[in-house]
Structure 1
Amino acid sequence: MIEKTGFVVDEVSEESFYQNLLLGITKTLESSPCVHNTNLRRYRGLKDTDIRAWEHNNGVLLSEDMRNFYSSTNGFLFTYNFAYENNEGKVIAALGKIEMNPLENMSRTYGYETKPKGEIETVEGKYKLCLSRESKVFELSKIDDNNKVVLVYVNIYCLSSIWLYCAPYQFYFLADDFITYFRMCIAHLGIPYWQFMVTNEGIPEWSREMFHIIAPGVLQEDRNLIQINKKEYEELNKLDVSIFTMHHQYNENNAQKNKEQTVASPQHTSKKKTKKSTKVSHPTKARKS
């Protein structure tokens, strides 16, 4: 079972930002003898002008949590190798992954059926997606050649939501916002095909075995992700969305500080040539006092 993990950020460095974002799952995974080679690929956060350019080119607005996420890190990729020999002597090998595409790679997805009106209906307690020509779908992460996680705008005036897209033409609801989906990824440890819990077919048997080995208790036979209250994920992992904004501010403050030091250094050098140079305080130090 995943340990309940919380955090308090006093000063956000790049290292602590990613540690807090992963919520301790690296430690949980590495405690299993079946997990090896955990790896995190880091991306530099985007400028606000880059985010606005993507929005302008695609005719949609990102939600606040997604804007803060991409300001902090332009995408996310955490992977690990899993290998296990079952009772039949068969080796199960898989790549665990939590991935969010860089913004420039979050491209339009086409090929789905459209209707005159785009809307989200409720049928027998489940959400059904109807897309129109005004609807827009973007690839958030790729599962395999036929399946992907997508960001869906029913129309340009609606907020986006997260869906599993299975070709051809099948959409399954995952989360109504980005931060909830990110929590779900962490709660399920990036085990391959966990998103298929919302489908009629369910997850593959080998993926189910992975759950039983490295995350016993997380997978429940009768659970329906659509009907799960968000508080369940908050109990599993307390992801404070403010770290996105705080990390962005940290980068901006560092950039501004470096700029001030660059501008101040010629002045400091020129005054050092005079006899009165010892009485002149450094502009950066004076600002701190």
Structure 2
Amino acid sequence: MDEIKENSTFKGIAERLTLGITRILESLPGVADVRFAEKEPAEKRSLLSWEQKNSCILPEDLRDFYLTADGFTLNWSVKLDNECVPLGCMTINSVSRLCPLLQPVSLFALPNAPSLVDLDWEENSAETGTGEAPAAPHFDSRSRIFELDSCGGNGKVCLVYKNCNPGVVAQQSEIWFLDRSLSWHFLTANFSSYYRLMITHLGLPEWRYAFTPYGPSPQAKQWASLYQPLTFRGEFSLTDTAGDSHFNKLDPAKAFRGKPKVSIPKKKQPAQCSIGSIVKSQGGTGKHTVAKR
């Protein structure tokens, strides 16, 4: 009896943790094999150990998440020709896998080998950010970056602490996306907002590229228009060349008005002679000629 209560309690927690997304996915056409990995809560000492090791304070919402479940993994597939093809993936790394993006240089590395720090060789002109987006992180000691999700090799979602000083514990963090060209794109100011974004986008392929100037690939756009049409259409403007609109651009007035009629000039009929035509007599000799027109 106690075991049944524990199972029902855990299912209730899992339902709240996934925001009911599993039931929504199972109701979509063609979706199959929805799998949510159940994980135990993280221990408080592991969170404290992480903070001491990295000289960073975990944001309160992320701490509460880890105290509910040590990570998040939800995968789903679609049926194509009676085969299940993996499509959606939602992942939040566990505390043990919340590792720094910039690992210490190995002793076996080449002495003159370039690193990510070399990308910060010039000062960022948007050091304080702009009115539209905050300043981008740095790869050097000015920022402390930790990987939340590897995005299946299509980039990395990172927990970023900016304006860091050596020996000072960092407290303020943001969520950023690092694409494959090593360019930074701001996602959200806190973990809770990013978590809702991940659930809303159903973990579709390349959904984070919707927050970049160039957008997802054409194939990813097709999947998004199929399983997430409302959110997908709202993210791209009609004039945005980075995200092609899926609205119907056909103008029926132009397409179905038919071909314009071409007027064909009528051939002139040969002039007929009549009694009233111009007749000239020549010298009264009885000879007559018809005047040519």
Structure 1 unaligned spans of 5+: 1-11, 86-90, 225-289
Distance 2:127 2:24 in 1: 37
- Percent identical pairs in the alignment equals 25
Partner letter of residue 174 of structure 2?
S
Question: How far apart, CA to CA, are the structure 2 residues paired with 1:194 and 1:92?
Answer: 21
After TM superposition, the structure 1 stretch with the greater mean CA deviation from structure 2, 101-110 or 206-215, is: 206-215
For 1:203-242, what aligned pairs fall within 5 Å after superposition? 203-220=216-233, 222-223=235-236
Structure 2 SS opposite 1:218: helix
Structure 2 letter corresponding to 1:30: E
Structure 2 residue 215 is the aligned partner of structure 1 residue 202: yes
How much is the aligned-residue C-alpha RMSD, in angstroms? 2.8
Q: Output one character per residue of 1:4-48: Cα deviation in whole Å (capped at 9) or x when no partner.
A: xxxxxxxx9211111112122212211123211000111111121
Q: Aligned AA for 2:57?
A: L
- Counterpart in the other structure of 1:174: 187
Which residue, 47, 50, 65 being the options, matches 1:54?
Answer: 50
Superposition pairs of residues 1-289 of structure 1, within 5 angstroms: 13-84=9-80, 93-110=85-102, 111-112=116-117, 113-114=119-120, 121-123=128-130, 125-131=132-138, 132-145=140-153, 147-154=155-162, 155=164, 156-220=169-233, 222-223=235-236
Higher gyration radius (CA):
2
C-alpha change, 1:101 and 1:59, in structure 2 (3 Å) is same
Query: Would the alpha carbon gap of residues 116 and 29 (structure 1) be closer, same or farther in structure 2, given more than 3 Å must change?
Result: same
C-alpha deviation, 1:128, in angstroms: 3.5
Q: Distance in 1 between matches of 2:188 and 2:205?
A: 18
Tell me the distance in 2 between the aligned counterparts of 1:214 and 1:93: 15
What is the TM-score when the length of structure 2 is the normalising length?
Answer: 0.64
2:153 alignment partner, SS class: coil
Deviation at 1:83, TM superposition (A): 4.0
Q: How many residues align?
A: 209
**SS of equivalent residue, structure 2 residue 24:** helix
Partner of 1:201, secondary structure, is coil
Deviation at 1:221, TM superposition (A): 5.5
1:152-188 per-position Cα deviation (integer Å, ceiling 9, x unaligned): 0012434111010124431100010001000001111
What amino acid does structure 2 have at the position aligned with 1:52?
L
Distance 1:168 1:215 in 2: 26
Letter paired with 2:182: Y
Secondary structure at 1:207 match in 2: helix
Where does the alignment leave 5 or more consecutive residues of structure 2 unmatched? 1-7, 103-115, 238-293
CA contact (8 A) 2:57 2:171 kept: no
Mark the CA change 1:69 to 1:34 in structure 2 (over 3 Å): closer, same or farther: same
Deviations 1:255-284 (A, max 9, x none): xxxxxxxxxxxxxxxxxxxxxxxxxxxxxx
Please state how far the C-alpha of 1:126 moved relative to its aligned partner.
3.2
Distance, in Å, in 2 between the alignment partners of 1:104 and 1:79 is 21
* Inter-partner Cα distance in structure 2 for 1:72 and 1:160: 20
> What is aligned with 1:235?
none
TM-score, structure 1 length as denominator? 0.65
Deviation at 1:114, TM superposition (A): 3.6
Cα contact 1:114–1:133 (8 A) shared by 2? no
